Amino acid sequence: MTLVISGCNRNQKSKKQISEKANSSIEIKVDDRIELFRLAYNLAIMDSISPDLRPCKDKFYSENYLPYKKYSNHPFVQKIAKGDLWNGDLPVLALALNKNLKPKSNLDKSQLENQFGWYGKNIDSVSRLISNFKETINFRNEYDINFIPLKDSIKTNKITQKLNNFFRVEKQPNLIIYFDPLNNITSRSITFLPENDSIRKYLLANICEKSDSIDLNKSLTPKWNKTNRRITFHENSHLYTEDLFHRYYTDEFDEKLKSDKFKNERTNIDEIIVRGITAKIIALNYGKKIGDFEYDRLWPKSKIVFKELDNYVKNKNMTFEEIYKVIITKLEESYS
């Protein structure tokens, strides 16, 4: 089994014009559907993954995971445990269900299958399994989480303004962050929902602090730190670039990367590009020292992206779509 850590037009508006309209409406919340799925997911894989990827043993863990350990044999848990692929972001599929845990209308089933395999293809079966799981365990949703510091920090850092200025577009400023307290594995952008075009959404993992800094008596309080800053720019950048990736990542390039000669190289081109973009945005906005740190931790192919973006930053008349096409070409040439 494998655990997976998983169009732009020329815009002649000035940075000042973009900035004035980029006042974000930010909502940060825990979603019951994701947490219910995450609970079953964690019960299924907890004993099989590295301790570094297990949930933070904080107050939330004690109150919202430990009481349910006796339900490890439920069919939904066992379906996940016996599956052949454990995607770390699998529980976010729960957003394809409505509040009654029934599949939403107008879902793109092919996209669900592409992103979530069997679970996306068989969303009706997932609906029945998770509904029974909820009834069986008498699921509670009493969350003690303080989102105020994180929300204030995101507003203070003017995330949407920085993103819009970098990509030279005006994206919808509204943002929903689904905080996933029992997830210490991965964050991800959310691109499979019918209403995705209107509001940017992403899943935010609860990356553990040092064990000696966890207070079991205090409310869980997600913080704005270098990790959450990076995640915020990274997942939002996926939302800005998704259409470009599907437009310019060719079948020929994809086939080329399947060659045995690249089996030991990173070949997730979307992720390679977004990591380089994220580091460049942070470098431009937070200074050389922080920028150097972000650059040094990049994958080698992402450093190609970072350096190529220098030409884009210098050329104020270039659209992001134009540099994106150049980046795709440069990356394809690098796999030789």
Kindly report, residue by residue over 46-92, the tens digit of the pLDDT: 989 999 999 999 989 999 999 999 999 999 999 999 987 678 999 99
Residues paired with 27 in a beta bridge: 176
Residue 199: inside a domain, yes or no?
yes
pLDDT top residue among 276 and 4: 276
* 1 pLDDT more than 70: no
Residue 12 confidence (pLDDT): 36
Average pLDDT over residues 285-303: 97
* 7 pLDDT more than 50: no
Which residue is associated with the tokens 């096409």?
Answer: 325
Residue 158: inside a domain, yes or no?
no
**pLDDT confidence of 278, banded at 50, 70, 90?**
very high
What residues contact residue 263 under an 8 Å CB cut-off, 6+ apart? none
**pLDDT confidence of 233, banded at 50, 70, 90?**
very high
Average pLDDT over residues 179-191: 95
Average pLDDT over residues 165-177: 87
321: number of CA atoms within 13 Å, CB side? 11
Q: What is the phi-psi region of residue 106: left when phi exceeds 0, alpha when psi lies from -120 to 50, beta otherwise?
A: left
What residues contact residue 268 under an 8 Å CB cut-off, 6+ apart? none
**pLDDT confidence of 171, banded at 50, 70, 90?**
confident
Percent of the chain at pLDDT above 90? 78
* 196 pLDDT more than 90: no
Least-confidence region, from 42-56, 193-207, 208-222, 320-334 = 208-222
* 164 pLDDT more than 60: yes
Average pLDDT over residues 131-154: 94
Percent of the chain at pLDDT above 70? 88
Number of independent structural domains in the chain: 1
Pair 57, 133: CB distance under 8 Å: no
* 170 pLDDT more than 50: yes
Residue 318: inside a domain, yes or no?
no
Residue 43: inside a domain, yes or no?
yes
Residue 218 confidence (pLDDT): 81
Residue 123: inside a domain, yes or no?
yes
Pair 33, 126: CB distance under 8 Å: no
* 4 pLDDT more than 90: no
Residue 2 confidence (pLDDT): 47
pLDDT in tens, 15-47: 333 343 444 588 999 999 999 999 999 999 998
Residue 273: inside a domain, yes or no?
no
- Amino acid identity of residue 158, one-letter, is K
Residue 204: inside a domain, yes or no?
yes
Range of the domain at 178: 30-148+171-224
Residue 285: inside a domain, yes or no?
no
